[in-house]
């Protein structure tokens, strides 16, 4: 039997429930599924806490030759789990120079990076840009705590501080994606704390452009009148060229 299989079984059971627990279970199972698909993955986890995601990753790489999970936390979490496939490093996750000296295997490429450390926009930004060049082509970056909805006023987890923090992290991911369409794909799972996913489309060693933050527009009528006044045309799909995002179903 694979290590921590009882925990995976619990997640599978909860994923079928009608309660909120299915959201948290599905987030962890999403990562489990993706890691399981990979032959000998190197996983780097930033943030350990009680080892929930750590157990998920270790189960997914159980019996895989040369697979490895490296977990980093500023707190002492060395007793969170027990596995020969696991290496724990107690340090600040932002100190990439120190981490590379301790774990030079990271330079060969990370298959899956999970970011679940300090939940601030500034901290997450530094982590993404520190580690992105070490992500393999088609490698994944997962982000915990990106959904603010459950924490909004009068919602099931009402918490103004978490609402704002999660929204800021999500807006950061939007800004990174906006500036790097050709480098990453971006997906999200809503519910519970939320889970974001980047898929790297470029090569090992390639870096990201700086995030592009754009102020969101409101009051549709005002902006439309302003566009008319400036004779500005709205975007329209170009069916006659390859520039359109629409794919013609009649072209086989």
Any domain includes 249:
no
Any domain includes 174:
yes
Mean of the per-residue pLDDT values of the chain: 91
- Is the pLDDT assigned to residue 165 strictly greater than 70? yes
Any domain includes 227:
no
- Is the pLDDT assigned to residue 245 strictly greater than 60? no
pLDDT band at 250 (very low <50, low <70, confident <90, very high): low
pLDDT band at 235 (very low <50, low <70, confident <90, very high): low
Residue with the bigger pLDDT between 26 and 158: it is: 26
- Is the pLDDT assigned to residue 237 strictly greater than 60? no
pLDDT for the residue 236: 64
Any domain includes 182:
yes
Split into its structural domains, the chain has a count of 1
Sign of the C-alpha dihedral computed for residues 220, 223, 229 and 230 taken in this order: negative
Q: Which residues constitute the domain of residue 48? A: 5-200
Any domain includes 218:
no
pLDDT for the residue 94: 98
Task: Quick: pLDDT tens for 63-91.
Answer: 999 999 999 999 999 999 999 999 999 99
Any domain includes 176:
yes
Task: Quick: pLDDT tens for 167-204.
Answer: 999 999 999 999 999 999 999 999 888 999 999 999 99
pLDDT for the residue 234: 67
pLDDT for the residue 198: 98
Percent of residues, the chain, with pLDDT higher than 90: 74
CATH number at residue 61: 3.40.50.150
pLDDT for the residue 224: 72
pTM over 0.85: yes
Any domain includes 96:
yes
Any domain includes 240:
no
SS (H, E, C) the chain: CCCCHHHHHHHHHHHCCCCCHHHHHHHHHHHHHHHHCCCCCEEEEECCCCCHHHHHHHHHHCCCCCCEEEEEECCCCCCCCCCCCEEEEECCCCCHHHHHHHCHHHHHCEEEEEECCCCCHHHHHHHHHHHHHHEEEEEEEEEECCCCHHHCCCCCCCCHHHHHHHHHHHHHHHHHHHCCCCCEEEEEECCCCCEEEEEECCCCCCCCCCCCCCCCCCCHHHHHHHHHHCCCCCCCCCCCCCCCCCCCCCCC
């Amino acid at each position: 039997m694979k290590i921590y299989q009882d925990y995976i079984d619990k997640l599978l059971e909860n994923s079928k429930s009608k309660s909120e627990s299915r959201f948290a279970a599905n987030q962890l199972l999403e990562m489990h599924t993706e890691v399981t698909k990979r032959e000998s993955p190197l996983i780097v986890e930033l943030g350990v806490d009680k080892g929930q995601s750590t157990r998920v990753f270790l189960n997914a790489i159980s019996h895989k030759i040369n697979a490895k999970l490296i977990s980093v936390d500023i707190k002492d979490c060395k007793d969170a789990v027990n596995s020969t496939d696991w290496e724990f490093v107690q340090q600040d996750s932002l100190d990439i120079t120190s981490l590379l000296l301790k774990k030079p295997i990271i330079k060969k490429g990370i298959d899956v990076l999970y970011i679940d450390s300090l939940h601030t926009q500034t901290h997450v930004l530094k982590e993404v840009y520190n580690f992105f060049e070490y992500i393999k082509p088609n490698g994944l970056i997962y982000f915990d705590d990106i959904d603010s909805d459950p924490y909004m006023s009068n919602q099931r987890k009402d918490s103004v501080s978490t609402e704002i923090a999660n929204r800021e992290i999500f807006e950061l991911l939007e800004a990174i994606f906006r500036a790097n369409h050709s480098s990453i794909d971006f997906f999200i799972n809503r519910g519970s704390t939320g889970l974001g996913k980047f898929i790297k489309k470029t090569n090992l060693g390639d870096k990201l452009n700086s995030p592009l933050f754009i102020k969101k527009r409101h009051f549709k009528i005002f902006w439309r009148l302003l566009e008319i006044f400036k004779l500005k045309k709205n975007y329209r799909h170009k069916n006659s060229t390859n520039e359109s995002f629409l794919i013609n179903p009649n072209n086989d």
